[in-house]
Amino acid sequence: MCWSIYIASDEQLTLVPPDPAKPAFYVMAEEDEKFASVVRRHLSQKYLCFAGGISGCGCDFWSSAEERKNLAGYLAAELSQKKKIDLFICWAGDEGREHLLEKDWDSTTLLTEHEGLPERALLHIIR
């Protein structure tokens, strides 16, 4: 099973298209409205995206300091242009389950190796 990282904002998020020929950090719009409606139980903002790493899912954000750095950098850049960004983090398939944690979270926390990302968490990203 894989980790899923959803990013939401009321303002358009910058997309980082996946490149199958050269896997790397990416952010893509969640276009499946039926599935998005499940995720929107946690994230009500207008724009909803999915973030993944080199292996194509969110697992790299736990195992790779480089991928955490990519995600933290992306969030910092987006926050410099947007008022609010939220994340919902869960195991794939748990999108419809209640979140276990809701809190404000500094994106630089991603850079600390021992912090990790919490499970089934709704995180309000702060600068």
Q: Check residue 116 and give its pLDDT.
A: 61
Q: Check residue 85 and give its pLDDT.
A: 94
Q: Check residue 82 and give its pLDDT.
A: 83
Give the tokens for residue 58.
Answer: 């969110």
Q: Is the pTM of this model over 0.75?
A: yes
Domains of the chain: which residue ranges? 3-126
Q: Check residue 1 and give its pLDDT.
A: 84
Output the 3-class SS for 37-64.
HHHCCCCCCCEEEEEECCCCCCCHHHHC
Q: Where are the beta strands (DSSP E) in the chain?
A: 3-9, 26-29, 47-52, 85-91, 101-106, 121-126
Residue by residue, pLDDT tens for the chain (127 residues) are 899 999 999 999 999 999 989 989 999 998 888 888 999 999 989 999 999 999 988 988 888 888 888 998 999 999 998 889 999 999 999 999 999 999 998 877 766 654 567 789 999 988 7
Give the tokens for residue 82.
Answer: 């947007």
Q: Check residue 112 and give its pLDDT.
A: 64
Neighbouring C-beta atoms of residue 39, cutoff 10 Å: 19
